[in-house]
Amino acid sequence: MATTNDLKNGMVLKLDNGQLWSVVEFQHVKPGKGGAFVRTKLKHVLSGKVVDKTFNAGTKVETATVDKRGMQFSYKDGSDFVFMDTDTYEQMPIAPEVVGDAANYLLEGFEAVVAIYEGSALYVELPASVELVIEYTEPGVQGDRSTGGTKPARLETGYEIAVPLFITTGEKVKVDTRDGSYLGRVNS
């Protein structure tokens, strides 16, 4: 248990019948008239839904202990993704629903942060960008500008992104894991 005065960004709260909410931002407000309160923006840990919630100052809230561990993606077993804890070498199968869009950027040996609560994985967090090789893309024709100067390219993970016309098959590129956008070439 903690009070609303102890809130910090990233803290996970257990509200509304045990649902887990992560604190995105908070603000202590002391109006000239009336009692102080805390205005928060909370993100549902499983669904990603963001809501605004106001608490009276000093109100007790239940906190959840979420363990964030550095893990390495090992392999895919059926539909599950198997991650290995880099400290204990313990392997943990994680369902595709939990991995979500991170599956588009996973290669064997990739490091990720896995949030674990009461023995089960809540979500997989990748770095903001990853470096991947272009497995296949059509050759870019200089005069062809009908698509705004981009073309589809398949990454080594099988995921497709839009890249500039000058990118060729076999090049290594940097990709934003939040929205799948091309960030630039990687000089090897």
Question: Among 148, 131, 147, 151, which Cα is nearest to 139's?
Answer: 151
pLDDT digits (tens, 9 = 90+) for 93-105: 998 888 888 898 9
All domains of the chain in start order, with CATH: 2-63 (2.30.30.30), 67-125 (2.40.50.140), 129-185 (2.40.50.140)
State residue 144's pLDDT score: 55
Q: What is the pLDDT along the chain (188 residues), one digit of tens a residue?
A: 888 888 888 788 888 788 888 888 899 888 888 888 989 999 888 777 889 999 888 889 888 888 888 999 999 888 999 999 988 889 999 988 888 888 989 989 899 988 888 888 888 888 888 899 999 988 866 665 555 678 889 999 999 998 888 888 888 999 998 888 888 888 86
This prediction has a pTM of 0.70
Rounded Cα gap, residues 51 and 163, in angstroms:
35
Tokens representing residue 117 in the block:
């609560």
Strands 172-176 and 37-44: unpaired
| pLDDT for the residue 32 | 85
SS3 string of 138-152?
CCCCCCCCCCCCEEE
Query: What is the tens place of the pLDDT at every residue in 54-89?
Result: 988 888 988 888 888 899 999 988 899 999 998 888
